[in-house]
Amino acid sequence: METIKQAKVEYCLYARKSTEDDELQAMSIDSQIKEMTDLAIRDNLYIKEVRTEKHSAKASGNRPVFAGLLEDIRSGMFNGILTWAPDRLSRNAGDLGMLVDMMDQEKLHQIRTFSQSFSNNPNEKFLLMILCSQAKLENDNRGINVKRGMRARCGMGWRPTAPPVGYLSQPDKSNPQLIITDPERAFVIKQMFERVGNQGQSGRTVKHWLDRIQFTTKNNKG
């Protein structure tokens, strides 16, 4: 009786974390790599390469590392993906469709997450699509809720978003939407406008000046 040899799965460990607010609570990239490496050792899985990315997965085609991973799967460099959870791979219909298509073409043999495994059979592909579609639904609903909240704040005469650089939100009991000038940055913002309006300095010149004085926002961004 002839024995059919099963192709060895060569995994790429893909870890992703977005810096957007909706993913601030997601596990860090280092933690994802550690957990999935431990799983690979436990289950004797072969990790051929580790790739990481700091991009949102809300929209298709915005992640260069993920796009490169798909190309390498098409070329045969990998035939498996190891990742923390399905939403690390896709939170949109376009990327999900490409993953399922590569399973149908037998180029992608398996996707392993911390708690589940997905291969080229109808039930597992259906479950993968449900989980990734659920992540997309959460994104869509979150966007609707944010816009609704912003409209409500505008209707009450409140600023709908965080105050601009040079101001701080400092609510108190008498005024929950109190905004004050930032004592550390307001004078710099004033000087910036004076340099442009009174001295005719260009945006590039002002940027060089801000860099020279090491000016940063309250989130320590230059």
C-alpha to C-alpha distance for 9 and 120, rounded to whole angstroms: 13
Asked if 26 and 62 count as a contact pair (C-beta separation under 8 A), the reply is no
**Mean pLDDT within 52-60:** 84
Q: Over the chain, what is the mean pLDDT?
A: 85
**Mean pLDDT within 139-160:** 71
C-alpha to C-alpha distance for 216 and 222, rounded to whole angstroms: 5
pLDDT of 2 > 50? The answer is no
Alpha helices in 111-213 (DSSP H): 122-155, 186-197, 203-212
More confident residue, 47 or 214: 47
So what's the pLDDT on residue 12? 97
What is the model's pTM?
0.61
pLDDT tens digits, residue range 104-138?
Answer: 999 999 999 999 999 999 999 999 999 888 877 77
65-74 core/surface letters (b: 16 or more CB in 10 A; e: else): ebeebbeebe
**Mean pLDDT within 14-28:** 73
